[in-house]
Amino acid sequence: MVVNTNPNMVIVGSVAFDSIETPHGKKDKLLGGSAVYSSLSASILAKPGIVGVVGDDFESKYCDFLNSKNIDTSGLIKTEGNTFNWGGKYEEDMAQAYTLHTHLNVFEKFKPTINENYKAVNYLFLANIDPVLQMSVLDQMTNLDFVLLDTMNLWIDIKKDELINVIKKVNAISVNDTEARQLSGEWNLIKAGRLLQNMGPELVLIKKGENGTIIFYKNDYFIAPAYPTTETKDPTGAGDSFAGGFLSYIAKNDGVDFDTIKKATVWGNMVASFTVEEFGVEKLKELTEDDIGKRIDEFKKMISF
């Protein structure tokens, strides 16, 4: 599809239509998927290019929209069939998604191919897909400086060895508290984070939803509370918004040190705090660097003593 930019980060993940029900309402055919949430979040600071697959039902307006946000879609392949469709429901606590249906459709045979435009890019986000595919992406990239990997309980259950193999080769992993416990076999999150680092990555990001993020970098760690939103309408995409925002901050600053990582974590948290305020990607459509900066200032005040 359309090429817009020379991307400075590559995102490989899902592009989907979501059907979402929360106590605040019910919406169908929302543009979603990990590559969409993370690229929109990243596009505020960086120029992401996405690798994914969509079906015939993915009208050109969706690509136009992504392109309008400086997201390169040359890695987005259209094939015969329907776009991946996920249906989920959240109860009042908004802490957990209950899957109502998963129609993989064209996503079932997704084999990510990295085009020439993307191969030499330095920053890569491997969003949650089969770890075997994540590994195949790593093999195709030629000039990586920093790779962030996301995953989910499914892969820990059914492809743990393959997942551990790819985790060994990345710089950072982003998991939620449940996944961190499951993958490390340790309940205490501080110990779990250290065990995950021992698997290879020098940076481990543990996401705790409304309870913020703990990150482990080399021998240090950092605790970032979440921004306390009063209007969580739809938590879908919070984790991918965090990851996209985080990596865009690293890519923009073109370097990895603990101070940049801490600021990138807070940046990612703030982006995610906006995402959840509306259904789908609605809030990300108009979000600016200035909005995020203001919220960071507000957040700094909230935690200072």
Q: State how far the Cα of 178 lies from the Cα of 166, in Å rounded to an integer.
A: 20
Facing residues of 99 across strands? 88
Instruction: Please identify, using beta-carbon distances, which residue of 143 and 219 lies nearer to a copy of itself.
Output: 219
Stretch that binds a copy of itself, among 73-81, 150-158, 205-213, 240-248 (CB under 8 A): 205-213
Establish how many alpha carbons lie within 13 A of residue 125's alpha carbon, considering only the half-sphere containing its beta carbon. Answer: 39
CB burial of residue 159 (10 Å; 0-12, 13-18, 19+): middle
Instruction: Please identify, using beta-carbon distances, which residue of 76 and 247 lies nearer to a copy of itself.
Output: 247
Torsion of CA 43, 48, 52, 53, to 10 degrees: 60
Is residue 87 involved in binding a copy of itself (CB under 8 A)?
Answer: no
Instruction: Please identify, using beta-carbon distances, which residue of 27 and 181 lies nearer to a copy of itself.
Output: 181
* Contact criterion met (CB below 8 Å) for 206 and 180: yes
Q: Which of 21, 156, 222, 253 binds a copy of itself (CB under 8 A)?
A: 222
Taking each helix axis as running N to C, give the angle between helix 131-140 and helix 160-167, from 0 to 180 degrees, rounded to the nearest 10.
30
- In the complex, least distance from residue 123 CB atom to a copy of itself, rounded to whole angstroms: 21
Is residue 224 involved in binding a copy of itself (CB under 8 A)?
Answer: yes
Is residue 297 involved in binding a copy of itself (CB under 8 A)?
Answer: no
How many residues contact a copy of itself, by CB under 8 A? 31
CB burial of residue 221 (10 Å; 0-12, 13-18, 19+): middle
Closest CA to 28 of 97, 85, 95, 80: 85
Mask 93-112, x = binds a copy of itself (CB under 8 A)? x-------------------
Is residue 80 involved in binding a copy of itself (CB under 8 A)?
Answer: no
Q: State how far the Cα of 18 lies from the Cα of 269, in Å rounded to an integer.
A: 22
Stretch that binds a copy of itself, among 28-36, 104-112, 137-145, 204-212 (CB under 8 A): 204-212
Q: State how far the Cα of 173 lies from the Cα of 167, in Å rounded to an integer.
A: 7
Instruction: Please identify, using beta-carbon distances, which residue of 53 and 264 lies nearer to a copy of itself.
Output: 264
Distances (CA, A) of 173 to 74, 168, 239, 274: 26, 10, 12, 23
Write out the binding residues for a copy of itself, residues 244-283 only, by CB under 8 A: 259, 262-263, 265-266
Instruction: Please identify, using beta-carbon distances, which residue of 59 and 93 lies nearer to a copy of itself.
Output: 93
- In the complex, least distance from residue 229 CB atom to a copy of itself, rounded to whole angstroms: 8
- Four-residue CA torsion sign, 38, 43, 47, 52: positive
Instruction: Please identify, using beta-carbon distances, which residue of 157 and 259 lies nearer to a copy of itself.
Output: 259
Stretch that binds a copy of itself, among 8-16, 149-157, 163-171, 215-223 (CB under 8 A): 215-223
Residue 114 three-state SS: coil
Is residue 225 involved in binding a copy of itself (CB under 8 A)?
Answer: yes
The two tokens of residue 116 are 């020439």
- In the complex, least distance from residue 178 CB atom to a copy of itself, rounded to whole angstroms: 11
Mask 158-187, x = binds a copy of itself (CB under 8 A)? -----------------------------x
- In the complex, least distance from residue 91 CB atom to a copy of itself, rounded to whole angstroms: 9
Residues of this chain that interact with a copy of itself (CB under 8 A) are 92-93, 187-191, 208, 210-212, 214, 221-225, 228-232, 259, 262-263, 265-266, 302-305
